[in-house]
Amino acid sequence: MEKSKILIIYTGGTIGMIEDPITGALNPFDFDHLQDHIPELNKLDVDLTVVSIEHPIDSSNVSPDTWFQLVTIIGEYYEIFDGFVILHGSDTMAYSASALSFLLEHVNKPIIFTGSQLPIGKIRTDGKENLITAIEIAAAKENGHPIVPEVAIYFEYSLYRGNRTTKVSSENFEAFQSPNYPLLAEAGVHIKYNRFAINKVTEHTFFVRQKICTHVASIRIFPGLQREVFQAISRLPQLKGLIIETFGSGNTPTHAWLSEEIMHLNQREVIVVNVTQCTTGAVSQGKYETGVHLERAGVLSGRDITFEAAILKLMYLLACDELSFEERKIYMERNIRGEMSNN
């Protein structure tokens, strides 16, 4: 069998840094000589090619332009390569993975994000293992088909669905969790794939979208939140979508003014989505009166979606010009990329 062809896309981040042995300063290393820094890659039965976005950045500076560069590269090389590995800073990796899961429609190939907590030039780096295993997963096939035909994140022996993932630690190597969805794979002596959790290959044609709407915002509910503070965001003239981060199973104070403000947003055709502040669990607006009043006011349930996926799904749907306001609301509550549970 021919070797799998994998394209590594470098965006920046900790994984791409190497320590100057004299000054101790961290500098980006030359990815054209990747195998010199990680000779273990030569043992993989894979053809590797490396490209970079135009200007590699710290992941805190990731923007929609970064996502458009990534989907353009993947779209250009989609038919040439068997899989893709994206090297990305961990801070906004869950946002970028969510973005690509929506912008890349009908994905049939592995698109694996990875990074590290320590630079790849450090002795104790987690970057080498993350990169090597991410490449193995991107190259893995069964009966001629990729095992993981979806956008995913690989970090510290675990493979997560990209739009089900959130960063939970700034220090631990196990920096990510998938609170409401099983791991796609676990890497030990062997890589164990949880096939029941992985997307199936689709018969539809791969398609790249290059448009999102950034006229969105979020408000985190807390005891003592004042109407004026809520209005400072909800009355923004260009606002098209709002995420409300609520308590528990989707609850907020039953202030009359809050329902009034939300109804005002609906009249303006601003989509309002309820996402829980809890790490695990789901929004159930009909469970308590403190959630029922939101449903009556027209708030949509985000169910068990992560915040990162919710904000990117909202950006994506608002940019789908072919959809009406009512259709966008329907899709916002519907599982379209594996980002939320069906029930």
- Residues recognised as catalytic: 14
- In a 13 Å sphere around the CA of 181, the CA atoms on its Cβ side amount to 29
Between the CA of residue 181 and those of 173, 279, 301, 307, 329, what are the distances in Å?
20, 12, 18, 14, 23
Check: CB of residue 299 under 8 Å from CB of residue 262.
Answer: yes
* Contacts for 238 with CB less than 8 Å, ≥ 6 apart: 215
Check: CB of residue 162 under 8 Å from CB of residue 150.
Answer: yes
Q: How far apart are CA 312 and CA 227, in angstroms?
A: 26
Q: How far apart are CA 278 and CA 10, in angstroms?
A: 33
Question: What would the DSSP string read from start to end of 268-322?
Answer: TT-EEEEEESSSSS---TTSSHHHHHHHHHTPEE-TT--HHHHHHHHHHHHT-TT
Residue 113: phi, psi to the nearest 5? Answer: -85, 140
Residue 202: phi, psi to the nearest 5? Answer: -100, 155
Choose among 264, 255, 269, 273: nearest CA to 310. Answer: 273
Question: What would the DSSP string read from start to end of 10-44?
Answer: E--SGGGEEE-TTT--EEE--GGGHHHH-GGGGGS
B/e letters for 186-201, b = 16+ CB within 10 Å, e = fewer, are ebeeebebeeebbbee
Q: How far apart are CA 210 and CA 82, in angstroms?
A: 22
Q: How far apart are CA 93 and CA 114, in angstroms?
A: 8
